[in-house]
Amino acid sequence: MRRKASLVLLALAVFCTALSPLLRWYAFPRLVKIPPNRYQDMVLEARPATLIDYRTMKARQVPRVSVVQTLKGNVEESERIEKSAGRDVVVWDALTYVAGPDGKMVSEIPERYVFDAHSQEPVHATGETVDGDPVRREGIEYKWPFLTKKRDYAYFDAQTRTSAPIHYKGTRTFRGLEVYYFEQTIPWTKVPIPKKLPVKGITRQSVEKAGTSRWYTTKRMFWVEPVTGAPVNGQEIHKEELRGGALLPGGGKVTAFSGHVKMRADYIDSTVEMVTSQRRLVLLITSYLPWGLLGAGLTLLALSLLLEARGRRAGPRGAAAAPPPRKASGPRPLSSS
């Protein structure tokens, strides 16, 4: 009986030990992915800010500028691209909408971002655009990979349409979560003028025809929860200028937008709550279950060996203690008188 129990425990030990690495290295990349139909919005604010008045082409101080970012999963496009890509793909139709203190549009820039559902690596496909202009992304945007490393990453900048390193600057604690802090600085760079501007009659073409160009610089900061790769906070020290041309008196320059853009507190709260719940699910696949199964496998193996050893020791002792067989006695002879 002990030998049967030992074999059962040994089989369970082998099963648990084999399942542990399978969960981490086989199941994890196949189960933990960004859903293709995900929708997310985020509101950031600069208080106060400097904003251009396109009617007068002069900068003015305003109490607030709001930046609304939306990410909407395009399921039909992801299914179409998956057929040729041969892997799970997510297509985000993103929109960055900038509004002045009166709520009216200052600019809006749409994007289509195509990436691998697990690794977040860009997938190059038709329709990959920023403000309608075709682009070829390198590096990440919006989200870091699952199990983010303490290293620099290439991060795509939608204004310049190029990628540049975003630097790991250390580990911090944010709202009770351990996060990795990243920084990226984009130097003054000439960038395209948005196709949609707030004043009727002023377009990208008319501004460029007047010889006026748009320049931009920013310091970008992210606090990233490393297990999920999701930023729980983001800020930018953002500056834009219009330079030269007939639109500006004397061919000088004017600030188009300047401000320290920060995530609104209520969106930080909801993001931290969502990321905390997702973090547990990722850790379940990558840590809790693999290590738990490995520990269970080693425990079961030890029990199996213990039962086997006890069974072997009990065998010889039982044989030595057994009584010798009794000899059969024949009929006793009759005694004579």
Q: Which of 155, 147, 153, 180 is nearest to 32 (CA)?
A: 147
HSE-CB of 247 using CA atoms within 13 angstroms: 27
Whether residues 229 and 284 share a domain: the answer is no
Whether residues 23 and 84 share a domain: the answer is no
In a domain, 176, yes or no: yes
Whether residues 161 and 85 share a domain: the answer is yes
Whether residues 48 and 19 share a domain: the answer is no
Whether residues 215 and 145 share a domain: the answer is yes
| Distance from C-alpha of 227 to C-alpha of 218, rounded to nearest angstrom | 27
Task: Note the helical H segments in the chain.
Answer: 2-22, 28-31, 75-85, 204-209, 265-283, 289-321
Q: Which two tokens stand for residue 124?
A: 């190059």
In a domain, 14, yes or no: yes
| Distance from C-alpha of 43 to C-alpha of 52, rounded to nearest angstrom | 21
Indicate the number of domains in the chain. Answer: 2
Q: Could you give phi then psi for residue 52, rounded to 5 degrees?
A: -80, 145
In a domain, 193, yes or no: yes
- Domain extent, residue 60, equals 32-263
In a domain, 335, yes or no: no
Distance of CA 106 to the CA centre of its chain: 30
| Distance from C-alpha of 142 to C-alpha of 274, rounded to nearest angstrom | 16
In a domain, 309, yes or no: no
Are 223 and 179 in contact, with CB atoms under 8 Å apart? yes
Q: Which of 169, 163, 172, 167 is nearest to 184 (CA)?
A: 167
Q: What is the pLDDT along the chain (337 residues), one digit of tens a residue?
A: 666 777 777 788 788 888 888 888 888 988 999 999 999 999 999 999 999 988 888 899 999 999 999 999 999 999 999 988 889 999 999 999 999 999 999 999 999 999 999 999 999 998 999 999 999 999 999 999 999 999 999 999 999 999 999 999 999 999 999 999 999 999 999 999 999 888 888 888 888 888 899 999 999 999 999 999 999 999 999 999 999 888 886 678 999 999 999 999 999 999 999 999 999 999 999 998 888 888 888 888 788 788 777 777 766 555 555 556 665 555 555 444 3
Whether residues 289 and 253 share a domain: the answer is no
Whether residues 16 and 165 share a domain: the answer is no
Whether residues 14 and 99 share a domain: the answer is no
Are 73 and 158 in contact, with CB atoms under 8 Å apart? no
Whether residues 240 and 290 share a domain: the answer is no
In a domain, 151, yes or no: yes
Which position has the token pair 């993001």?
A: 271
In a domain, 330, yes or no: no
Boundary (domain end) residue, out of 205, 232, 263:
263
In a domain, 331, yes or no: no
Whether residues 101 and 180 share a domain: the answer is yes
Are 14 and 322 in contact, with CB atoms under 8 Å apart? no
Whether residues 191 and 299 share a domain: the answer is no
Q: Which of 142, 81, 133, 77 is nearest to 110 (CA)?
A: 133
Whether residues 292 and 160 share a domain: the answer is no
| Distance from C-alpha of 91 to C-alpha of 37, rounded to nearest angstrom | 9
**Which letter, b or e, does each residue of 228-244 get, where b requires 16 or more Cβ atoms within 10 Å of its Cβ?**
bbbbbbbbbbbbbbbbe
